[in-house]
Chain A
């Protein structure tokens, strides 16, 4: 059965190997350059004092490959579900060949076990190799951008979990729907649905976020802003590298943001000064404006502090493992359903 599965799966496996080889070639050619670029520019930019320039140069290099690799890891699991999972049983039904193969001297439970096992493991291997290569390729860029949670589902081990789930669900869809194209469609919709649901409803609740209350500082970006609908507000940027920021507010001890009236009176001189509108803590040649803003800031900082709710960078891999485990679990449940259906219902 193992040999027969390999025989039937050869072409699909060859396509996957082809894609991986293409990725490997692109990674092998361009990856070392990125590492070299990082080592020669960003790594010692402090000495040259050109860190922002060096960072920009690195993050903007190979922009096509950046988009392509990111997209590849997003769609790869879906492709596995559509082209490996959905047709696995649906095509047997469509061609009537289930009557041929399920009447050989192999029970259909074993048939399904071997098919799910071999192709499921291959799906994981393909996703694993792809994510390994792409994650390595991105590592110099990720070290600079420091927003690892933004590309959470295009790196790391979650991709392996997504691929296994997509495959298992595609198989089940084909088993229930019995027609290839509708099963492919169902596999795609369900995969997108599961991914969105986990991303927006489950992932943020996997670990309780950290709440950090910090005194205000004048940094690049500290500002009073005049929103068209919200009125005046005070903004303090947050700088926690690689963290996943849930919220960032300026509040007083009872949790309220400064009112427009308060800011109006606290920052009267700054707001009526030469630089009206947005007033920032940016060093400007205008001495009066700077003094006015410093006064405004002192008034606000006396009563308000910054409250940041976030997941620290150190939890990145915990999140990766949890989410991978969730999709593995879903895959096992769906596969179990397929076994039950093949044994009890499909008769």
Chain B
């Protein structure tokens, strides 16, 4: 199976600063992938590299086995919704659809028109007068009607209010169900991802801290709380992701493929939130110097 997105030693440098440095990851096809990480982790840079808007300074990147920006056919395989969902202010919704039809050989105009109708958008309305949520929806329709093999969305809901955010993600889920398209969606809001993603990649300072199927990840992580004890006393097959201690009590988040059998523990499942924050904290503690000034966001 080809990877939806595969990078090796990928880096992008602006002047002296690396927006993304030595990033190696592989995202499988056919999933709805949530790409999370703190601001400045390189998410946006990674996705812009994936669609060919940027070229790598070092390393390689492949999307669906092809080099980004390698001619019109590769461009046609990717539907991209950029950060802040840009559209042409002075152009009407209908003209945006016409643009899509003219610039994409596999354009599905029936699909586009149906979606616009479902959204209740007036085709004659100028994109500049749409609400943020409507604009994001329009951008999604444009990306979708290209009939891409993969949808790449760069923080599509970051600037939307909660209701618009929910509606957008609702549409996205419908789309995935209907067309079975691969999706890579970046966000720093974990709650967004929980609703739509079945695969998670946590990116901190260009490095993958965690990746895997959401259900498998949730099933292999546990919160353990019980009497105070040192992490070294835990079984070898339990990897400690996070720990906190009081005088009498210890709380661990551990990763293990085996059941927890120690009766001293109160075992609780973890949420996606716990998981992401736990791994982000772990990364920060491991290499505190790497985090801060990589934050060149485009």
A interface residues, Cβ below 8 angstroms from B: 1, 3-4, 7-8, 95-107, 110, 347
Taking the closest CB of chain A, its distance from the CB of B132, in whole angstroms, is 13
Q: Which residue of A lies closest to B54 (CB)?
A: A347
**Hey, which chain A residues are within 8 Å of B80, CB to CB?**
99, 103
B interface residues, Cβ below 8 angstroms from A: 48, 51-55, 69, 71-73, 75-76, 78, 80, 82-84, 86-89, 91, 95, 98-100, 102-106, 139, 142, 146
Contact A104 B53 (CB under 8 A): no
Contact A105 B104 (CB under 8 A): yes
Contact B103 A97 (CB under 8 A): no
**Hey, which chain B residues are within 8 Å of A107, CB to CB?**
69, 71-72, 75
Contact A97 B88 (CB under 8 A): yes
Q: Which of B75, B88, B95, B139 contacts A104 (CB 8 A)?
A: B75
- Bound Cα distance from A107 to B106, whole angstroms: 15
7 contacts between A and B (CB under 8 A): A1-B102, A1-B103, A99-B83, A99-B86, A100-B139, A102-B52, A347-B55
Contact B99 A104 (CB under 8 A): yes
Contact B105 A103 (CB under 8 A): no
- Using A103-B53, A107-B71 as known contacts, say yes or no to A97 and B86 having CB atoms under 8 A apart: yes
| Chain A to chain B: the 9 pairs with minimum beta-carbon distance, closest first | A347-B55, A99-B82, A105-B76, A96-B86, A104-B103, A103-B80, A105-B104, A97-B86, A105-B75
Majority SS at the chain B contact face? loop
- Bound Cα distance from A298 to B72, whole angstroms: 83
**Hey, which chain B residues are within 8 Å of A100, CB to CB?**
82, 86-88, 139, 142
In the complex, the number of residue pairs spanning A and B with C-beta atoms less than 8 Å apart equals 76
Contact B82 A106 (CB under 8 A): no
- Bound Cα distance from A104 to B106, whole angstroms: 11
Contact B82 A347 (CB under 8 A): no
Contact A95 B86 (CB under 8 A): yes
Q: Which residue of B lies closest to A108 (CB)?
A: B69
Residue from A101, A103, A104 whose CB has the most chain B CB atoms within 10 Å: A103
Q: Which residue of A lies closest to B96 (CB)?
A: A100
Taking the closest CB of chain B, its distance from the CB of A167, in whole angstroms, is 21
**Hey, which chain B residues are within 8 Å of A95, CB to CB?**
86, 88-89
- Bound Cα distance from A101 to B87, whole angstroms: 9
Taking the closest CB of chain B, its distance from the CB of A107, in whole angstroms, is 6
- Bound Cα distance from A265 to B159, whole angstroms: 92
Contact B78 A104 (CB under 8 A): no
Contact A105 B103 (CB under 8 A): yes
Taking the closest CB of chain A, its distance from the CB of B62, in whole angstroms, is 16
- Using A96-B84, A100-B142 as known contacts, say yes or no to A106 and B72 having CB atoms under 8 A apart: yes
Taking the closest CB of chain A, its distance from the CB of B51, in whole angstroms, is 5
**Hey, which chain B residues are within 8 Å of A7, CB to CB?**
91, 95, 98-99
- Bound Cα distance from A347 to B61, whole angstroms: 14
Contact B86 A103 (CB under 8 A): no
Taking the closest CB of chain B, its distance from the CB of A99, in whole angstroms, is 4
- Bound Cα distance from A1 to B100, whole angstroms: 10
